[in-house]
A = this chain, B = another copy of it.
Amino acid sequence: MVGEGPSGSYNVVGSEHADRGVGRHRSDRGWAMAATLHDVARLAGVSIKTVSNVINDYPHIRPTTKERVEAAIAELGYTPNLTARSLRSGRTGSIALAVPDLALAYFAELAASVIAAAEASGLVVTIEQTGSGGRQRELDLLTSPRRKMSDGLIFSPLEMSQDDVAHLNVDYPLVLLGERIFEGPTDHLTMRNVEAARAATEYLIRSGRRRIAIVGAHEGELIGSAALRLQGYREALEAHGIPFDGRLIGPSIEWHRANGARSMREIIERGADFDAVFALNDTLAFGAMRALQEAGLRVPDDVAVMGFDDIDEAQYSIPSLTTVDPGRAWIARTAVSTVIERIEGLDAPPRLLLADFEIVQRESAPAVAR
């Protein structure tokens, strides 16, 4: 482990490059310390400022000097210390994304898009999962010292409520996603939940279904995706003169596949009569389809199924899933550009930005009546 290198100096941990003496120094622990601006300047025989100029493409540098510096950089394998640059500049070059759980397809796909969009702007993304930590976990996240390690936060809460609006008064750029809180002090991106759910329900009605079950309802809740989508559902029923029937409502706090299956089974076992299911998200819909199959009900012949989210999987399930595309890709792109605007100092009142939605017609719910 400790041995003689080519030039007689120490070599520790795994094989390392030769230590050129004039070049890099080393730490007391294993890793060779990275070269600094200083090292480069010394090797190139110029001042540290000149090196900095070369690195930052400062225009007026004598070509020969520039070459010498670049040679030194290459020789030492110098890369700038971004931590130091951050401390100096006040920018970290990273943004944080806080979501409930990356194992949920919706958030994984959102994260993938956010990371891609951020990278196009030269930013990296650190991801935090609030998981099952509940409201307190979400509040803590907003004030964690970690916030200082990124320039801004894109936050999709699942537990906070309108009462927590004051907690959004933070001193860093914050973009809020979702439908837990409105009229807050920050930019807010959300989808048209009520309108989209209403359109989805009307789509089912127009295709000839009248007894439409719901999977994934949050009973007694007034805010959040579940409540808003349920409201859209009720509006559609009302507009078409179809009475609301509580026996068709399958509650489920969590929105995993298992919950969709369980919620669907409850409705079936209850003996309710229905010819369609509106699952409040795609994952629930897959679970519901599973339960329908187990009960010997065919999709879409006996029961049409409508989802919400248009996750990747919806096009490949069997049958493929008719669902609502709530504009996730647009939300990801816009969240990044919005938080960047704030990072760059945009001083404007908080904005509410609404994504467009679209019904994506597939096999689980054909547009035409049976």
Which of A's residues lie within 8 Å of B, judged by CB? 1-2, 11-17, 27, 29-32, 34, 79-84, 86-87, 90, 92-94, 96, 101-103, 105, 108-109, 111-112, 115-116, 119, 124-129, 131, 143-149, 169, 171-172, 185-187, 257-258, 261, 286-287, 289-290, 293, 312-313, 315-318, 320, 342, 345-351
Q: Is the CB of A103 within 8 A of B108?
A: yes
Give A230 to B363 CA distance when docked, in angstroms.
34
Q: CA separation between A86 and B313, bound complex, in Å?
A: 41
Contacts of A119 in B (CB 8 A): 128-129
Find the B residue at minimum CB distance from A113: B103
- Are B29 and A171 closer than 8 Å at their CB atoms? no
* Residues of chain B lying within 8 A (CB to CB) of residue A92: 83, 149
Q: How many copies does the complex hold?
A: 2
Task: Give the complex CA separation of A34 and B83 in angstroms.
Answer: 18
User: With A32-B171, A347-B30 in contact, is A102–B112 under 8 Å at CB?
Assistant: yes
A32 to B185 CA separation, bound complex (whole angstroms): 15
Given contacts A12-B347, A83-B87, A145-B80, contact A172 B31 (CB under 8 A): yes
Distance between Cα atoms of A12 and B186 in the complex (Å): 8
**Contact across chains for A143 and B79 when beta carbons are under 8 A apart:** yes
Interchain nearest-CB distance for A171 vs B (Å)? 5
Report how far A240 CA is from B30 CA in the complex, Å: 51
A79-B143, A87-B87 known; A350-B126 Cβ under 8 A: no
- Which residues of chain B come closer than 8 Å to A111, judged between CB atoms? 102, 108, 127
Q: For residue A115, which residue of chain B has the nearest CB?
A: B129
C-alpha gap A258/B312 in the complex (Å): 10
Tell me which of B32, B127, B148, B258 contacts A81 (CB under 8 A).
B148
Other than the known A105-B105, A115-B127, what 7 A-B pairs have Cβ atoms closer than 8 Å? Answer: A16-B171, A32-B171, A86-B149, A87-B87, A112-B129, A261-B316, A289-B318
- Determine which of B30, B86, B112 lies in contact with A103 in the assembled complex, contact meaning CB atoms within 8 Å: B112
B115–A128 touching, CB < 8 Å? yes
Verify B83–A185 contact, CB threshold 8 A: no
Contact A350 B81 (CB under 8 A): no
In the bound assembly, the distance between CA atoms of A349 and B12 in angstroms comes to: 5
A83 CB contacts on chain B under 8 angstroms = 83, 86-87, 92, 148-149
- Distance (whole angstroms) from the CB of A23 to the closest CB of chain B: 13
Q: How far is the CA of A290 from the CA of B94 in the complex (A)?
A: 40
Given that A103-B112, A115-B127, A148-B83 are contacting pairs, would A342 and B169 also be in contact in the complex, using a CB cutoff of 8 Å?
Answer: no
Contact at B127–A146, with CB atoms within 8 Å? no
Contact A124–B146 (Cβ < 8 Å): yes
In order of increasing CB-CB distance, the 7 nearest A-B pairs are: A108-B108, A257-B316, A102-B112, A1-B349, A103-B112, A2-B349, A126-B126
Residue on B with the closest CB to A172? B31
A96 to B92 CA separation, bound complex (whole angstroms): 15
User: Is B128's CB under 8 angstroms from A124's CB?
Assistant: yes
Known: A34-B171, A102-B111, A112-B101. A15 touches B185 (CB 8 A): yes
* A171 in contact with B1 (CB, 8 Å): no
